[in-house]
Structure 1
Amino acid sequence: MGSSLLSTSRLLFSPTPNREVRGCGSDLQNAFFRKLNLSRRDMGRSCRHNGVVTALFQFGKKSAPPKIKTVIPEPDYRIPAVLLGLAGGLAYTENVLASAPVGLLGLLLLFQTTRVRFVFDDKALEVKVGEELDESGENVFVGGKNRWNYSSFVNWEIWWPNFPILVYFKETQTKPEGQVHFFPVIFNGKQLYDVMVERAGPSKTSSPK
């Protein structure tokens, strides 16, 4: 009876089945990690392959050149102010015949200073008007649009550097033999000079101060 119970207890608590279970669990665990490592290697190969393809694509792709920003020189009221002051002085000395045309010119330039803008974009200089920068239409003196490509500029000058009064330039866009333009400098002279040098090439005059 005692030996039967002992044999039964040995059968129930035998360590062999546990080793088999542990062995089976270890096999499943090892298989799982082997599959996981294989998946990681596949992912690594795929990522390396995609990286090479992306690098080749980016190498062959041409980057776009940086866009040149649009520059609009600020208005300058010094010339209208000088003309109106001169007209007032002439009127004070009772020189009405001289003060009238000077005063009218001062008023005209004052009005133009408030509305006319030189717009330097990436390709051309264009004269525009108003706060919304509307097109100024055709040139009333020589015809054609008030827009000239920098590549058509033959030469240009600003008179005078220390107190800019006139800007002059000659272009071949309006006429093949060249068309001359004069504008009063009703803009910031330093800004105007700098952008003209940058877009249209150097001038013989020195920078306005």
Structure 2
Amino acid sequence: MASTLLSVHRFLPSQKRENIGYMSAFRASFRGQALCNSGFCGRQIARSHGKRFVVHSLFGSQVRSVKKRETVIPEPDYRISIVLLGIAGGLIYTDNLVPAVPVGLLGLLLLFQTTRVRFVFEDDALEVRIGEQLQESGENVFVGGENRWKYSTFVNWEFWWPNFPILVYFKETQTKPEGQIHFFPIIFNGKQLYEVMVERAGPSKTSGPKES
């Protein structure tokens, strides 16, 4: 096909050769080369540069820029588990073994979960993952479905209590239309968790930033 076009190009008059010369400039590339000649088209550039995706319009020079937000993983925080284990130790010291056992077991459970559970805040959704390799956590054992929820489905979220956060609550409509409530112990850096929740899910009704 290419050789045929070249042979025709030799024997055409100069004006037609010029037109074909323009058309031969028609190139398509996924790496950002010119898509067609400058006479009737612009050019299309689709390339990924860092975390910015730039697209040049096919029929003009207008540029559309889309920036993808970074994935945020709050650091683990062992304060709650340490406090519970301390309380259990105090109860044992004062011979209060009956309450010491459940408090101590809860402290050990949260200590274990702090080492393995991660909240992964992606560009459009929050996902619970497991371990340093961020393995999938599988289906939610209580309400079913993936442990991944889009921020756009969040109805509300809260911290209890903001100064020393113990629990984070959020309600979403992805699992079921009428809304599904989730509670998680805050075994992560509370400040980091709060800031990314405000950024991705918007201010909460009562714990969010107060209007000035």
Structure 2 length as normaliser, TM-score?
A: 0.70
**What stretches of structure 1 move > 6 A for 4+ residues in a row?**
none
Counterparts in 2 of 1:199 and 1:164: CA distance versus 1, 3 Å: same
**Residue 202 of structure 1 corresponds to which residue in structure 2?**
203
Contact 2:198 2:208 in 1 (8 A): no
Aligned partner of 2:175 in structure 1 is: 174
Structure number having the greater helix percentage: 1
Aligned to 2:134: 133
Q: Deviations over 1:116-150 (max 9, x none)?
A: 00000001000000110000001111111100000
- Greater relative contact order structure (CA < 8 Å, 6+ sep): 1
Which residue of structure 1 lines up, in the alignment, with residue 79 of structure 2? 78
State the partner residue of 1:32: none
Identity of aligned residues (%): 71
Which residue does 1:156 correspond to in 2? 157
Asked whether the 8 Å contact 1:77–1:186 carries over to 2, the reply is yes
RMSD: 2.0
Tell me which residue corresponds to 2:166: 165
Which of the two has greater strand per residue? 2
How far apart, in 1, do the equivalents of 2:153 and 2:85 lie? 36
How far did residue 61 of structure 1 move?
A: 5.4
After the TM superposition, which residues 2-21 of structure 1 pair with which residues of structure 2 at under 5 Å, given as runs? none
Q: How many residues align?
A: 157
User: Which ranges of structure 2 fall in alignment gaps of 5 or more residues?
Assistant: 1-33, 44-55
Give the match for residue 88 of structure 1.
Answer: 89
**Structure 1 unaligned regions, length at least 5:** 1-49
